[in-house]
Amino acid sequence: MIEDIHTHNSAAHGAVISVNPWEYSPRQGALYSVGIHPWRLKAVAGPIPDFELLEDIAGRENVVMIGETGIDKLHEPDVEYQITVLRRHVELSEQLGKPLILHCVRASNELCALHKALRPSQPWIIHGFRNNANVARRLLDAGFYLSYGEFFNIDALNATPHDRLLAETDESQRPINDIISHIARCRNEDARETTAHICDNIRSLLKIS
């Protein structure tokens, strides 16, 4: 049973482990998302560094999502280059039929515009969502899933319907069941009910029977 859609803990169980392609060292039975994080980009002329390695790894059976990738306006390189790299990840997601998991910092407008322009068939997930309810509704209306971790805006959480709700540990030391229990309390729900919704969503996203 997968409860945690996004973690950087390589020893985690019941989770999708997120790594950059050069960090990929698979553990038997574990599931991965693989992508080039925007913080690890360096704007250079010519091909995107490490993208051939990403393409080689991304098709493997234990890689169930592409990313994390995305846009971070508070971090170099420039936004246009980040979007260029993101577009390549979108192409890979569509080619392989695997969902895309996104890092988004002050870039919800850009992501919504890109989603509208590209009209992807694969789901897009915003990980570690901490923005307000208005931004949450805009992303939800555009078709995104929202994943919540240790810290979040309660109004945004409560604006997220059950069928778009996900949970994650990311880099937190708290176990996923603690995070989901906190999410459930903030939604005035039973933790078992919230866990069931999250697990159902993950099974649907990852095509797990």
> Mean pLDDT over all residues of the chain?
95
Per-residue pLDDT averaged across 148-175, rounded?
A: 98
- Mean pLDDT value across residues 107-116: 97
Q: Is the pLDDT of residue 185 over 70?
A: yes
Output the DSSP codes for 60-100: STTEEEEEEEEEETTSSS-HHHHHHHHHHHHHHHHHHT--E
pLDDT digits (tens, 9 = 90+) for 35-63: 999 998 876 656 777 899 999 999 999 99
pLDDT of residue 71: 97
Q: What's the rounded Cα separation, in Å, for the pair 49 and 206?
A: 28
Q: How far from chain centre, in Å, is Cα 43? A: 23
* CA-CA-CA-CA torsion sign (124, 61, 36, 197): positive
User: Span 15-43, mean pLDDT?
Assistant: 94
Which residues of the chain form beta strands (DSSP E)?
Answer: 4-7, 15-19, 31-34, 63-72, 100-105, 124-126, 145-148, 165-167
- At residue 29, the pLDDT reads 95
Average pLDDT over residues 146-173: 98
List the domains of the chain with CATH numbers: 4-206 (3.20.20.140)
